Amino acid sequence: MTALLKTDLGSTPLIGRGKVRDLYAIGDALLLVATDRISAFDHVLATGIPGKGRVLTQISLFWFDLLKELVPNHLISADVREFPASLHPYTDQLRGRSMLVKRAAMFPVECVARGYLTGSGWKEYQKSATVCGIPLPAGLLDGSRLPEPLYTPSTKGEAGTHDENISFAATEAAIGAADAAELKRLTLAIYNKAAGHAESRGLILADTKFEFGRTAEGIILADEVLTPDSSRFWEAASWKPGGAQPSFDKQFVRDYLESIHWNKQAPAPSLPDEVVSRTQDKYLEAFRRLTGRDLDLAS
């Protein structure tokens, strides 16, 4: 199996290519195609992870279905047979990794929920006993469960840049108090439901981020949701605060890049086969653990 690094849908209008997804205009709708590209340290790597885009898409579809009573989403269809006829010649590129979705006016904030102290939150806590300016009790460790889940919005960084944490007051100023309050409510409600499901599967949802948009019908959940690319999932049985926790994501990739002392500047290096294989296995395991099903990438 080879990695799909770039889609080509003929005359279908391409809106843009993100770190992972290619976005096309389909009349009044949009087509999101998750490629097998993988990024680390804000750079897309030269090597992809075969099947990764299919795993991400199928995980998102699982969550959209599980959360649909809590929040509407942008999905129209993920069945290529239901796509416009002009896309059918590209079925091999689209099967299992694409979603036809509603257009929405996207909010200019990343909606982050944190249930555990880790990553940038841990770095800030060590300096000031806060996370995104929110005071926390003394004595917490790297990987500690927070007293309650936190909503910590951020800006949406352009390609090659970091998202920047912003205050809730800044989101109110940017999008209005009512919408800011609703995004916070939805983010924490989704996090709590998703964390409960993950716990039932022996996993910890440490943190995650969501994107929301507005249609004529109101606010909807968009983009990907609760995948290993946008969330930290940890093994509950081995969770032990006091250090970094093994996660179901691209940690093998990050570890390899650190081991070769890459300067984190373009061009990004290629990955050895072993790192590719272990990363693919981790994504597939995340799908299996979350959904209770196996995903056959060869089908």
What is the per-residue pLDDT across 248-260, written as a single tens digit (0 to 9) for each?
888 889 889 999 9
The larger pLDDT score, comparing residue 144 to residue 299, is at: 144
What is the per-residue pLDDT across 127-142, written as a single tens digit (0 to 9) for each?
999 998 899 999 999 9
Domain end marker among 221, 238, 255: 238
Domain identity same for 228 and 156: yes
266 within a domain of the structure (yes/no): no
Domain identity same for 98 and 112: no
Query: Which two three-digit tokens encode residue 74?
Result: 């942008």
Residue range(s) defining the domain that contains residue 180: 106-238
pLDDT at 228: 93
- Is the pLDDT score of 156 beyond 90? no
What is the per-residue pLDDT across 16-37, written as a single tens digit (0 to 9) for each?
999 999 999 999 999 999 999 9
Domain identity same for 136 and 17: no
- Is the pLDDT score of 186 beyond 80? yes
Please, which residues bridge with residue 98 across strands?
33
Q: Are strands 134-135 and 105-106 parallel, antiparallel or unpaired?
A: unpaired
What CATH code is carried by the domain that includes residue 16? 3.30.200.20
- Taking the C-alpha atoms of residue 275 and residue 135, their distance in angstroms, rounded to an integer, is 39
What CATH code is carried by the domain that includes residue 195? 3.30.470.20
285 within a domain of the structure (yes/no): no
pLDDT at 297: 85
56 within a domain of the structure (yes/no): yes
176 within a domain of the structure (yes/no): yes
Evaluate whether 67 touches 190 at the Cβ level (below 8 Å).
yes
Domain identity same for 80 and 119: no
Concatenate the DSSP letters of all residues of 107-141 into one string.
-SSBEEEEEE--HHHHHHHHHHSEETTEE--TT--
Query: Which two three-digit tokens encode residue 181?
Result: 């309050």
State the DSSP code for 88: G
- Taking the C-alpha atoms of residue 184 and residue 274, their distance in angstroms, rounded to an integer, is 40
Q: Which residues contact 119 (CB under 8 A, 6 or more apart)?
A: 207, 232
Q: Which residues contact 69 (CB under 8 A, 6 or more apart)?
A: none
Domain identity same for 48 and 164: no
The larger pLDDT score, comparing residue 162 to residue 278, is at: 278
In 3D space, the residue among 187, 206, 32 whose CA is nearest the CA of residue 110 turns out to be 187
Domain identity same for 123 and 231: yes
What is the per-residue pLDDT across 37-90, written as a single tens digit (0 to 9) for each?
999 988 999 999 999 999 999 999 999 999 999 999 999 999 999 999 999 999
pLDDT at 54: 97
18-46 as b/e: b if 16+ CB within 10 A: ebbbbbbebeebbbbbbbbbbbbbbbbbe
Collapsing DSSP states into helix, strand and coil, what is residue 143? coil
| pLDDT (average), residues 232-253 | 91
87 within a domain of the structure (yes/no): yes
| Helix ranges (DSSP H) in the chain | 52-67, 91-94, 119-128, 168-175, 177-200, 251-259, 273-291
What is the per-residue pLDDT across 163-185, written as a single tens digit (0 to 9) for each?
788 889 999 999 999 999 999 99
What is the per-residue pLDDT across 215-232, written as a single tens digit (0 to 9) for each?
999 999 999 999 999 999
Please, which residues bridge with residue 212 across strands?
221
pLDDT at 161: 53
Domain identity same for 49 and 111: no
Percentage of the chain exceeding pLDDT 90: 87
Helix (H) or strand (E) holding 24: strand 21-26
Percentage of the chain exceeding pLDDT 70: 98
- Is the pLDDT score of 159 beyond 60? no
What's the CA angle centered on 254, arms 249 and 258, to 5 degrees?
Answer: 165
288 within a domain of the structure (yes/no): no
Domain end marker among 103, 127, 157: 103
**pTM reported for the whole predicted model:** 0.94
Domain identity same for 94 and 152: no
Domain end marker among 103, 124, 148: 103
Q: In total, how many domains does the chain have?
A: 2
pLDDT at 60: 98
The larger pLDDT score, comparing residue 162 to residue 109, is at: 109
Domain identity same for 117 and 93: no
pLDDT at 160: 46
Domain identity same for 125 and 230: yes
Domain identity same for 122 and 176: yes
Mean pLDDT of the chain: 94
- Is the pLDDT score of 238 beyond 60? yes
Strands of the sheet containing 29-34, edge to edge, are 14-17, 21-26, 29-34, 98-102, 75-77
